[in-house]
Amino acid sequence: MRRTSRSTYSRREFIGSASASAFAFTFLPSRVFGANERLNMASIGVGGKGGSDSTHAGELGDMVALCDIDDNTLRRRAEKSPRAVLYNDFRVMLEEMDKSIDAVTISTPDHTHAPAAVMAMRLGKHVYCQKPLTHTVYEARLMRETAQGFKVATQMGNQGTAENGLREAVEVIRSGAIGPVREAHVWTNRPVWPQAPKVVSRPVGRPPVPAHVHWDQFLGPAPYRPYHNAYHPFNWRGWWDFGTGALGDMACHTANMAFMALNLGYPDSVSAENGPLNPETYPAWATVKFQFPSRGNLPPVDFYWYEGKLPNGDKNLPPKELFHGNTPPGSGSLLVGDKGILYSPNDYGAAYKLLPEDSFEGFEKPAPSIPRNGRGDKGMKEEWVEAIKGGRPAVSNFNYAGLLTETILLGNIAMRSDKKLLWDGPNLRFTNSSAANQYIHKTYRDGWVL
């Protein structure tokens, strides 16, 4: 590596330096960039999805810093950005490179999204963060408030938002084509990683930490546990301490169109039926029901989420009759209105048809009202960069994406409860379960506090 930097701080060192720069200063709004001016980019997490996120950012600006807990991953990505300074610890990177960075992409495991993004935003950096925006409900609220307070341009990486088909489907629903919508059903092909029922406890073996892996930085705010390849590099998604399960992984994609089209906000309640719980991994299957109140002239909505395989081995899906003879794909959504159904056989809600089909022959689409993008994953970053340079806010900015994530993650709390939970969104609490309230926020390991 071209630069050797400390990958850990002592608690005393970190609290002293981070509090001085990230928490206790008067914020000055980010400077205005010219339309043709290059941004100085940094990327935290450059493997997996972080590979394309950092590549796109490097094409839209100058990549000045790269950070990853895996040296092999970091070296491979650095070949594309030979001038970037390399780090294993995002806290050190943001402290040392503060004056040199304008914007940051974050593509780490879910549990480190908020610590990295909040620190970056408090330093005035514009942030692009992968879905789900956060690991907990509280973090999602904090991300929204921090982005607003520090006036930074933001975007969550649920790339289907850029699809013109999704934006068109939103317009169709809002036009009233299928009438008032009272039910929504969304399902996924996840999990595709090990979790319950096959994995319900931590691995027994204690293999040595590979020389290229910085295990303390992987753990970040999570409680300490010994290294094992059951967690890194991919299968962390199924573990409570690191991931957000199938719901967190995919609902920011697959529920996005319905959430946007129906102008959903805080639900009144959330409940779940699911497989047996264990203290380490998400359950094998779950059906989650969110109940949303009326919004203006829009009626209440019962919103259902389906994941995993049922005990009999069948895929967990919405009622068969809603498909009107269509074969359900791995993931998709159904919005049920008084006049018909909008059916999207797509992870992103980017393709759709109206059911029953013979009732909608000759249907004319409404005039476009949402700006078109249609440039896919890179289009999400382009929209973010345009916002940084003074354009309109990106569609999946943290004000929208934070509320979407906050709502979705309530479902994971419902899986841990044995009753219907009543949600007071403005006050960030359940009104009928102190036991459930403990899962809204979490305890952070020393040195990794928000």
DSSP state letters, 164-187: HHHHHHHHHHHTTTT-SEEEEEEE
Res. 5: pLDDT tops 90: no
- Whether 397 and 409 map to the same domain: the answer is no
The three-class DSSP label of residue 398 is: helix
Would you state the pLDDT for residue 31?
65
Residue 282's domain comprises 166-196+240-374+405-437
Q: Does 449 reside within a domain?
A: no
pLDDT in tens, 17-55: 332 322 222 333 456 788 889 999 999 999 999 999 999
Q: Does 202 reside within a domain?
A: no
Which domain CATH number covers 177?
A: 3.30.360.10
Residue 5, φ and ψ in degrees, nearest 5: -130, 145
- Whether 75 and 86 map to the same domain: the answer is yes
- Whether 157 and 170 map to the same domain: the answer is no
- Whether 184 and 329 map to the same domain: the answer is yes
- Whether 185 and 154 map to the same domain: the answer is no
The three-class DSSP label of residue 86 is: strand
Task: Indicate the average pLDDT of the chain.
Answer: 93
Q: Does 83 reside within a domain?
A: yes
Q: Does 226 reside within a domain?
A: no
- Whether 94 and 176 map to the same domain: the answer is no
pLDDT band at 10 (very low <50, low <70, confident <90, very high): very low
- Whether 184 and 308 map to the same domain: the answer is yes
Q: Does 417 reside within a domain?
A: yes
Q: Quote the CA–CA distance of 8 and 89 in Å, as a whole number.
A: 7
Give the pair of three-digit tokens for residue 370: 């949402």
Q: How many CB atoms lie within 10 A of CB 82?
A: 8
| Region of 131 on the Ramachandran plot (φ > 0 left; ψ -120 to 50 alpha; else beta) | beta
Would you state the pLDDT for residue 450?
86
Which domain CATH number covers 104?
A: 3.40.50.720
Would you state the pLDDT for residue 12?
31
pLDDT in tens, 284-335: 999 999 999 999 999 999 999 999 999 999 999 999 999 999 999 999 999 9
Would you state the pLDDT for residue 328?
97
Name, in order, each residue with C-beta under 8 angstroms of 241's C-beta and a sequence gap of 6 or more.
111, 222, 223, 225, 280
Q: Quote the CA–CA distance of 176 and 342 in Å, as a whole number.
A: 11
Q: ∠ CA(94), CA(3), CA(117), 5° rounding?
A: 20
Would you state the pLDDT for residue 30?
52
Read off the pLDDT of each residue in 76-88 and give the average, rounded to a whole number.
97
Q: Does 282 reside within a domain?
A: yes
